[in-house]
């Protein structure tokens, strides 16, 4: 059967074995060592139970306007567009745009803003090779006529002007300006929720998926790209092209073989994780099926879409370009997540992050987005594979030869 033959081909490739080793290394060095000892139940006598995010409009607006005024006055905005620190200074026209928006928020005009700046406390901060003035505002308030909705719109506009990743990004407003300390009762509820609602295995499976998902956002593309490029590398393209099998069937069979074979090591680590859970938490009630169902639904779409991207881009360009494209996508997905590494799940993010055994409520708040996300990527993967089959068919009929950068017909071909 062709499917089994293709599975054997994948399993025999060196890239697949390196994929397995990398997966195993990540599993044992991160997840396996992290979950030996769970956190203990919170005590009633602790000083600090952590913080929680609340969507309190007043708190958010107060915090945001004071921070914004301070950064505006210094013309130095701290941003994390891709998860890395970036201090943005605006040019005059952008600065004027931001000032207009502040005027609307505060209900003042240009003179009013200047007065606020004159009254502000100024600290001189030594930073790297220079010193800059840091303006501190504590008493600014948002004009009563500005609704919370309008406020959020303005924050979004400011974030766009700053290039994204600022403190004023709408999704981050609550996190940045509206965190309150948790009480003992809340901390206890959070702890019990994590271990009773879906037992420790629910928590463990989410953590397992978080770590494994990082590898699966990139490493499968190497296996997929190398496999797809193998016919050309071994000068076998004409031999395969001239066979009876349809391009759609061949592409899907190879795709299924890649996904299936690459899922096997993930399944093995799932089994090891399940065994570990049953040993570490023996005596406690555990829902063992969660160690398999959650990771399958969480991780399989990721392998599917990364493999599909690998196949499609390799067919159009080359294996190298496929790796580069997926590398950029994985990097952006990894670094542009929120500052909290839990409940970081959006409708279209490649990686769903939940790097903790706790905060189940944060995960459940984004559950609908999570389900949408995984189904979206499953469907996207299948669409991309269809596209790969289409391209393969064009190449087979001699109607398309791929897009090359250099060489005869290359986009960047140098003149002879």
18 binds other proteins per the rule CB under 8 A: yes
Single residue of 6, 20, 27, 30 touching other proteins by CB under 8 A: 30
Nearest CA among 372, 32, 10, 15 for reference residue 212? 32
81 binds other proteins per the rule CB under 8 A: yes
Rounded to 5 degrees, φ, ψ at 75 are 50, 50
CA of residue 228 relative to chain centroid, distance: 26
Single residue of 159, 215, 315, 344 touching other proteins by CB under 8 A: 215
Residues 218-257 that bind other proteins (CB under 8 A): 218-219, 222, 225-226
Single residue of 2, 4, 25, 236 touching other proteins by CB under 8 A: 25
406 binds other proteins per the rule CB under 8 A: yes
Nearest to other proteins of 140, 224 (CB atom) = 224
82 binds other proteins per the rule CB under 8 A: yes
Nearest to other proteins of 195, 323 (CB atom) = 323
Nearest to other proteins of 41, 127 (CB atom) = 127
Nearest to other proteins of 62, 215 (CB atom) = 215
123 binds other proteins per the rule CB under 8 A: no
Single residue of 184, 185, 405, 409 touching other proteins by CB under 8 A: 405
CB of 278 to other proteins, least distance (A): 26
Nearest to other proteins of 23, 286 (CB atom) = 23
CB of 127 to other proteins, least distance (A): 5
Residue 296: count of CB within 10 angstroms of its CB: 16
Q: How many residues bind other proteins (CB under 8 A)?
A: 42
Nearest to other proteins of 234, 243 (CB atom) = 234
Distance CA 133, CA 30 (A): 42
Nearest to other proteins of 151, 211 (CB atom) = 211
- Which residues contact other proteins (rule: CB under 8 A)? 14-15, 18-19, 22, 25-26, 29-30, 76, 79, 81-82, 84-89, 127-130, 132, 211, 214-215, 218-219, 222, 225-226, 319, 323-324, 327, 335, 405-408, 416
């Amino acid at each position: 059967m062709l499917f089994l033959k293709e599975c054997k081909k994948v399993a025999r490739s060196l890239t697949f074995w390196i994929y397995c080793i990398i997966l195993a290394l990540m599993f044992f060095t991160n997840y396996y060592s992290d979950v030996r000892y769970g956190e203990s139940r919170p005590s009633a006598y602790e000083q600090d139970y952590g913080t929680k995010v609340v969507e309190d409009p007043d708190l958010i607006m107060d915090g945001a306007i004071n921070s914004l005024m301070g950064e505006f006055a210094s013309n130095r905005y701290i941003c994390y567009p891709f998860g890395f620190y970036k201090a943005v200074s605006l040019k005059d026209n952008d600065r004027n745009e931001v000032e207009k928006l502040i005027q609307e928020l505060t209900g003042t005009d240009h003179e009013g803003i200047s007065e606020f700046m004159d009254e502000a406390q100024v600290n001189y901060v030594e930073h790297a090779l220079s010193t800059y003035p840091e303006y501190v505002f504590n008493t600014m308030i948002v004009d009563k006529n500005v609704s919370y909705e309008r406020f959020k719109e303005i924050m979004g506009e400011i974030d766009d002007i700053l290039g994204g990743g600022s403190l004023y990004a709408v999704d981050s407003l609550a996190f940045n300006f509206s965190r309150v300390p948790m009480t003992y009762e809340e901390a206890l509820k959070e702890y019990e929720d994590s271990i009773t609602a879906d037992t420790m295995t629910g928590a463990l499976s989410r953590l397992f998926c978080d770590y494994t998902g990082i590898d699966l956002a990139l490493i499968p593309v190497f296996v997929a790209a190398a496999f797809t490029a193998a016919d050309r590398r071994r000068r076998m393209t004409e031999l395969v092209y001239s066979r009876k099998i349809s391009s759609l069937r061949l592409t899907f069979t190879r795709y299924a073989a890649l996904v299936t074979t690459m899922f096997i090591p993930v399944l093995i680590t799932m089994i090891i994780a399940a065994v570990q859970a049953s040993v570490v938490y023996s005596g406690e009630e555990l829902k063992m099926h969660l160690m398999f169902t959650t990771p399958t639904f969480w991780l399989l779409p990721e392998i599917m879409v990364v493999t599909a991207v690998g196949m499609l881009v390799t067919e159009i360009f080359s294996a190298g370009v496929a790796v580069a494209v997926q590398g950029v996508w994985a990097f952006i997905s990894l670094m542009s997540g929120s500052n909290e590494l839990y409940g970081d799940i959006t409708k279209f993010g490649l990686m769903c992050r939940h790097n903790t055994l706790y905060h189940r409520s944060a995960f459940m708040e984004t559950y609908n987005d999570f389900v949408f996300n995984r189904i979206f990527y499953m469907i996207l993967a299948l669409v991309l594979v269809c596209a790969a089959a289409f391209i393969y068919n064009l190449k087979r009929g001699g109607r398309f030869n791929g897009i090359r950068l250099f060489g005869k017909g290359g986009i960047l071909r140098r003149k002879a």
